[in-house]
């Protein structure tokens, strides 16, 4: 078995956290020198990360929060070290949706269609709905699905057939409420042209959008959306 084959043989174990520290070090060193290997490892890690949500859900006791907050509030306030640049810009909710996105026009940005495909729970407050989506005219091949779980104030987004973003950009999800986008974080690549994200805080949002953005941007979209999804009221 060649060195490359041996490394590839270890990728899944590394992604699952089932490799030894020495094996992890070897794989990460190889991935650092081989972009194709790095992409493969990232895809397997994204799949492994999804397993964390594949568990029966339950709530911790109220005492956990009380204990945790008592410890947190009991610590001295911290100052951000001088000279370190601010990691974030001013709050996203203070900024308007940029003209570049609005200018493309509501018709062009709207989905060709969406439908509610699933209703897995009879209780309206907990009703889970799935919205099938397709790309805007900037990326008409994009297909995907947004699954809303109101009981958890969360949405899971799955997209495929995404065009490669411009160099130095990655796809970012935006939660749009009252016309103002708030970052929902960057989507995780899970293979060629495919990406996924799970976000919370979607209650009251009118739509979701995805735009190609430079890493670290959380203030406002800077490019037209490749997907914009109207959410059911």
Partner 1 sequence: MAPAPSPDDLGRLADEDLLARIEGGDADAFELLYDRHARVVFSLAFRLLGDRSEAEDLAQDAFLAVWRRSASYASARGSVRTWLLGIVHNRGVDRLRRQAAAVRRQEALEWQALATAPPPDAADAAVSRVMAGAVRQGLDDLPPEQGQVISLAYFAGFTHHEISEILELPLGTVKGRMRLGLDRLRRSVGDPGLAES
Q: Hey, which residues between 55 and 74 contact partner 1 (CB under 8 A)?
A: 55-61, 63-65, 67-69, 71-73
The SS3 assignment for 7 reads: helix
Q: Quick one: 160 or 222, whose CB is closer to partner 1?
A: 160
Sorted by sequence, the CB contacts under 8 Å of residue 125 that are 6+ apart come out as: 150, 151
Segment lying near partner 1 (by CB under 8 A), choices 30-38, 102-110, 175-183: 175-183
Return the closest-CA partner of residue 146 out of 136, 134, 162, 164: 134
- Per CB under 8 A, the list member of 26, 34, 39, 49 interacting with partner 1 is 49
Segment lying near partner 1 (by CB under 8 A), choices 17-25, 27-35, 101-109: 17-25
Helix (H) or strand (E) holding 147: strand 143-149
Segment lying near partner 1 (by CB under 8 A), choices 31-39, 40-48, 101-109: 40-48
Residue 219 CA to residue 233 CA, distance in Å, equals 25
173 in Cβ contact with 199 (< 8 Å): yes
Give residues 177-216 in contact with partner 1 (rule: CB under 8 A).
Answer: 177, 182-186, 188, 190-201, 215-216
Residue 208 CA to residue 201 CA, distance in Å, equals 12
Position 151 contacts partner 1 (CB under 8 A): yes
Position 156 contacts partner 1 (CB under 8 A): yes
- Per CB under 8 A, the list member of 25, 28, 126, 140 interacting with partner 1 is 126
Segment lying near partner 1 (by CB under 8 A), choices 30-38, 102-110, 143-151: 143-151
Residue 93 CA to residue 96 CA, distance in Å, equals 8
Structure tokens at 112: 């060709």
Q: Quick one: 18 or 25, whose CB is closer to partner 1?
A: 18
């Amino acid at each position: 078995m060649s060195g490359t084959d041996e490394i590839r043989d270890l990728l899944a174990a590394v992604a699952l956290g089932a490799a030894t520290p020495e094996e992890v070090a070897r794989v990460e060193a190889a991935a650092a020198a081989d972009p194709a290997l790095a992409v493969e490892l990232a895809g397997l890690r994204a799949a492994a990360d999804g397993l964390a949500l594949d568990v029966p859900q339950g709530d911790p006791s109220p005492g956990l929060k009380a204990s945790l907050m008592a410890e947190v509030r009991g610590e001295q306030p911290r100052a951000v070290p001088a000279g370190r640049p601010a990691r974030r810009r001013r709050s996203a909710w203070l900024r308007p949706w940029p003209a570049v996105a609005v200018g493309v026009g509501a018709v062009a940005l709207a989905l060709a269609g969406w439908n509610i495909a699933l209703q897995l729970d009879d209780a309206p407050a907990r009703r889970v709905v799935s919205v099938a989506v397709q790309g805007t005219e900037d990326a008409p091949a994009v297909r995907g699905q947004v699954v809303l779980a109101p009981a958890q104030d969360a949405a899971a987004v799955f997209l495929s057939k995404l065009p490669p973003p411009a160099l130095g950009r990655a796809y970012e999800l935006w939660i749009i409420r009252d016309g103002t986008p708030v970052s929902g974080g960057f989507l995780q690549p899970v293979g060629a042209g495919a990406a996924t994200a799970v976000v919370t805080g979607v209650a009251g949002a009118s739509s979701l959008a995805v735009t190609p953005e430079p890493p670290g941007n959380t203030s406002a979209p800077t490019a037209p959306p490749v997907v914009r999804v109207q959410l059911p009221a």
